[in-house]
Structure 1
Amino acid sequence: KPPYPYVELISYAINSHPSQKMALSEIYNWLLVHFPWFQTATSNWRNSVRHNLSLNKKFVRVPREAADGVGKGDLWTVE
């Protein structure tokens, strides 16, 4: 398991993106690529990511704009 709390992992993911914004699926993919533990873990970690995004005031939901590409759902950024 990664030695960082979910808040830090999510922050690392979002801050690594050139726009400093990511969709939930992009955050999942980033974690899977950078921390192989997630590839074999049960899917409960996805609930933890969503929980942290929703409840931690550090993360802000940003409406997706046409320039942000195709996809559904909002983007997330770090305040």
Structure 2
Amino acid sequence: KPDYSYASMICQAIFSSSGKKSTLAEIYEWICSTYPFFKRNQQGWKNSIRHNLSLNAAFVRASRGEGVTGKGGYWMVDPKYERYFVNGHFK
């Protein structure tokens, strides 16, 4: 298992995307491709990701915008919390 908290991995996924925003599916995909541990263990970690996105004030939801198809919105890191993300870890 990676030595990062779920919040840290979410930040890594979001910051590695274009525009610093990602859908939930994109966050899952990034975590699985970056940390193969999660490919083998499919169940509980996805609940933990959703829990962190919903309850951690550092993560904010943004709409997809008009005319953009797809389910769900984007997740971003609130700019006032970006300074807490240092060297891959969310402090």
Whether these two folds match at TM > 0.5 is: yes
- Between the two proteins, the alignment pairs up a number of residues equal to 78
* Gapped regions of structure 2 (runs ≥ 5): 79-91
Provide the C-alpha distance between the structure 1 equivalents of 2:65 and 2:48, rounded to a whole number of angstroms: 26
- Between the aligned residues of both structures, percent identity stands at 45
Runs of 4+ in structure 1 deviating by more than 3 angstroms, as ranges, are none
* Gapped regions of structure 1 (runs ≥ 5): none
Q: Report the TM-score when normalising by structure 2.
A: 0.81
Aligned pairs for 1:43-62 within 5 A: 43-62=43-62
Q: Report the TM-score when normalising by structure 1.
A: 0.93
State the structure with more CA Rg: 2
Provide the C-alpha distance between the structure 2 equivalents of 1:25 and 1:66, rounded to a whole number of angstroms: 20
* CA-atom RMSD in angstroms: 1.2
Aligned pairs for 1:7-46 within 5 A: 7-46=7-46
Provide the C-alpha distance between the structure 1 equivalents of 2:25 and 2:65, rounded to a whole number of angstroms: 17
